[in-house]
Structure 1
Amino acid sequence: MVFIVAVLVIALSIAGFFVYSGLPEKVLHYTLNGLIKDGSLTMIMPSGAKNTYGNGKGAKTVVRIKDSNTVLKLVLNSSFEVGQAFMDGRIILEEGDVYDFLEVLLGNARLMTGVGALGRIMFTATWVLRRLAQYNPVKWSKQNVAHHYDLSDELFDLFLDPDRQYSCSYFPTPDTKLEDSQALKKRHIAAKLLLDQNKENILKVLDIGSGWGGLAFYINKVSGANVTGITLSEEQHKVSNQRATDQNVKDKVHFEILDYRHETRKYDRVVSVGMLEHVGVNHFDEYFQKVAQVLTDDGVALIHSIGRSDGPGTTNPWIRKYIFPGGYTPALSEVLPAIERAGLVVNDIEILRLHYAETLRSWRNRFEAKRAEVRALYDERFCRMWEFYLASSEATFRYGGHMVFQVQLTKRNDIVPQTRDYIYETEQKLPLSPAPYKYPSK
């Protein structure tokens, strides 16, 4: 016991020495000076030291760090501390906003040719522990989903489109309206599902991770299919089934609280949008084996997921703690082997590069426009947390090696037409979303 106390005293003494010696400020200065080449970032340290980095182009960003302990934490663990300090109000944006700040950091980080010895050590440590962080048994999966998706309904209404599509939309151009882009996304997915292929039969469709039901209702609307949506979110389940009742389609579209691992029925079509990110690298085999198990021999599946274009990695620790516990964005090099082991055939892969960046920009702007209403639901710290989440996600899709992929799967290679022309031909025949659903007021 005496030894442990002595070690703690020594450790605290060393930390105190580093803080009060001003060394962390110097380390942070040299780090930023080596990193920031493009843009304009001015950093005001707790000591009053003020330094500007970059070539002065673009939005001018001025950041004040309130205390020396924050500087030390930024030096030791910047990937977590930037978000934590902003959320806590220990990083103050005196000029520019948090997106401007992150754009400078991530936009310059992509130009770096190496991460240095300390960076390699930190990455190796998180890589070793990533399977533990992404361990998602059934019980934990439901808790992780509730952490994010069972937040107030009113919150999501403030920044999503009226159909509550909470995934990457389809932007033909950056100035496409959010409502239109989400309608185009649903149509694009429906075209890849070949819903009109077996007109003599009513298709059975499984939607894994069905959200508030918008895609399920669209599929039913354009094809007459019977759609089963499964989710682990109590709130989304309740709202989705209420929508089905209100639209008089409960005999055709229904939703269940069910983990994908427990599904046993057979389906002609399987679609999953924004779900694979919550599966975890440990469970990719389980996931795709389940898709293969429930898909009929002549069926078609479409998996839409955030992905990494720069190879396997780890989830940002701040995002993992506050936004998506248990979540992980996979690289195709991690997903495709699991698909192959499940005996599924890849027919088509499409990469949506900047579509999610534009989606997040729209969400962020809408969120900021309704910030006072968000604050009334929660508090200012929550607003800062979500502001950072939306801004950092957008910057990551623009500069950080993230994209979205859509993988079309079958069990045989003769199910889907030989060329991709059918996708665009089918889109021209399909209507866009029906009239927006009016959610009941509370």
Structure 2
Amino acid sequence: MEIVNAMLGRFVHVGSLTIVDAAGRSHVLKGDTPGPEVTLKLHDKKLHHQLFLNPELKTGEAYMDGTLTIEQGTIRDLLTLYALNRKNLRAQPIQKTMRAWVKRMRGFLPKNDAARSKKNVETHYDLSNEMYRLFLDDGLNYSCGYFRTPDDTLEEAQVNKLRHIAAKLDLKPGQRVLDIGSGWGSMAIYLAEACDVEVLGVTLSTEQHALATERAAARGLSDRVKFELRDYRDVEGSFDRIVSVGMFEHVGLRNIPEFFMKIRSLLTEDGVALLHSIGRKGGPGSTGAWVKKYIFPGGYAPALSETMPAIEASKLWVTDVEIWRLHYAQTCLAWGGRFAANRDKAAALLGERFCRMWEFYLLISEFSFRYGKHMVFQIQLTRNVDALPLARDYMGETERRLEERERAARPAPAQTQVQAAG
């Protein structure tokens, strides 16, 4: 522990970290800049070395299992401390060596074929619809919201996102739309209601498929919105528009070229596609070991430098690119607050260990956008150069028109209704 303590001493420059080891001895690591003050208690002596050799995996595992407890501060304080000092830890020679090895192994990762993709989706998305209701917005949007103002609620931010994407698709009534990774159906339902189009949503999640189908039926949209349990690679036909929100991260690095070739093959000659995905600012990387093991097996958020060459090879036009920076941090913060408020219900559904895992997941996700290199990109694609208006003005005009339509469709306040009746 003394060797590890000496090395970790160079890690903490901001705040302070006190580690009480399995033998009850305290090791104080204090930075020269004020910051979070955290005390950890280690209940397993194996953690003395594991936490230094593989902190991103072992900290999460130990917190989940209860072999690491926080005696002073909170899990948020601990992860804030790590985020503020992360560069110092990663500068250590052994950390550099381990990251270099992980990057070299990227090309040997198993390919996400249809069977593996379905298994990966089931691991995360088929946990429990009731659990997801505990922290998502009313529309069950499990992707980044679009906060036009800091005061937007989670519900407002998610509708903002749907409206923003609809505007970029430049939809015309009666068009046929494919939603790849349709989740619980909010994108498909919004497009059908707001833009008068037909939508086919495909997903590999049994739970999502069932609930999305139920939601569409409840809104009287079964004739125009359909959901299928199908891998996107098995979709056939042609579509005027294709949208994919929060699914590209599950394609897998080795499948990126195939994904865009499939998009091209499904688009009509004058078709438009809109891809919404988590990406990374700092070039090619790797999925964190803890996230890959417990949250998103097979998942990878690609850099633009890994995405654009595949688009070029597919001969699609990139007609618009937009980068969202802190929107997902704000989204995860809202999710975390709602999950905390419903933690007892989550524990009753899936247990205490799951709750600790989910807390850790939502926090590191927030911090990857707030302090790290993650962002969200939206890429608009076409087959033909003249498939869209020359100026981007149509996007803003369409958003305003859709917002006015939403406002007009809202029920009038009770007082106004009484006055109108009188």
State the TM-score, normalizing by the size of structure 2. 0.92
2:82 maps to amino acid: L
2:135 maps to amino acid: F
Superimposed CA distance per residue, residues 105-125 of structure 1 (whole angstroms, 9 cap, x where no aligned partner): 122224x49634322321232
Alignment match of 2:166 (pick from 190, 202, 206): 190
Indicate the residue corresponding to 1:370 in structure 2.
342
| Superposition deviation, residue 172 in structure 1 | 2.1
| Superposition deviation, residue 319 in structure 1 | 0.7
The answer to whether the 8 A contact 1:134-1:328 is kept is no
The yes-or-no answer on 1:85 pairing with 2:57 is: no
Indicate the residue corresponding to 2:261 in structure 1.
289
Alignment partners' CA distance in 2, 1:265 and 1:329: 28
Which residues in structure 2 correspond to 1:36-185 (within 5 Å)?
A: 36-47=12-23, 48-55=25-32, 57-110=34-87, 112=88, 115-185=91-161
1:30 maps to amino acid: A
The yes-or-no answer on 1:345 pairing with 2:317 is: yes
Runs of at least 5 residues in structure 2 that lack an aligned partner in the other structure: 412-422
SS of the residue corresponding to residue 67 of structure 1 reads: coil
1:91 maps to amino acid: L
| Superposition deviation, residue 79 in structure 1 | 2.2
2:392 maps to amino acid: R
The answer to whether the 8 A contact 2:188-2:199 is kept is yes
Alpha carbons of structure 1 residues 27 and 330: separation in structure 2 relative to 1, 3 Å: farther
Alignment match of 2:239 (pick from 260, 267, 275): 267
1:142 maps to amino acid: K
Indicate the residue corresponding to 2:420 in structure 1.
none
Alignment partners' CA distance in 2, 1:295 and 1:241: 24
The answer to whether the 8 A contact 1:164-1:212 is kept is yes
Which residues in structure 2 correspond to 1:371-390 (within 5 Å)?
A: 371-390=343-362
Moved more, 390-399 or 208-217: 390-399
The answer to whether the 8 A contact 1:292-1:344 is kept is yes
The answer to whether the 8 A contact 1:167-1:273 is kept is yes
Indicate the residue corresponding to 1:359 in structure 2.
331
1:257 maps to amino acid: L
User: Cα RMSD (Å) of the superposition?
Assistant: 1.8
The answer to whether the 8 A contact 1:99-1:392 is kept is no
The yes-or-no answer on 1:316 pairing with 2:288 is: yes
| Superposition deviation, residue 424 in structure 1 | 1.8
Which runs of 4 or more aligned residues in structure 1 lie more than 4 Å from their structure 2 counterparts after TM superposition? 432-436
Indicate the residue corresponding to 1:414 in structure 2.
386
Which residues in structure 2 correspond to 1:415-430 (within 5 Å)?
A: 415-430=387-402
Alignment partners' CA distance in 2, 1:435 and 1:127: 51
Superimposed CA distance per residue, residues 103-156 of structure 1 (whole angstroms, 9 cap, x where no aligned partner): 11122224x496343223212322233344352010110010000101111100
2:347 maps to amino acid: R
The answer to whether the 8 A contact 1:209-1:230 is kept is yes
Alignment partners' CA distance in 2, 1:63 and 1:172: 39
Superimposed CA distance per residue, residues 180-213 of structure 1 (whole angstroms, 9 cap, x where no aligned partner): 11010111111111114xx5xx110000000000
Percent identity between matched residues is 46
| Superposition deviation, residue 400 in structure 1 | 1.5
Alignment partners' CA distance in 2, 1:128 and 1:428: 48
SS of the residue corresponding to residue 34 of structure 2 reads: coil
Superimposed CA distance per residue, residues 353-399 of structure 1 (whole angstroms, 9 cap, x where no aligned partner): 01000000000111111111111001111111111111111111111
Indicate the residue corresponding to 1:15 in structure 2.
none
Runs of at least 5 residues in structure 1 that lack an aligned partner in the other structure: 1-24, 437-442
The answer to whether the 8 A contact 2:169-2:273 is kept is yes
Alignment partners' CA distance in 2, 1:178 and 1:290: 33
Alignment partners' CA distance in 2, 1:73 and 1:113: 14
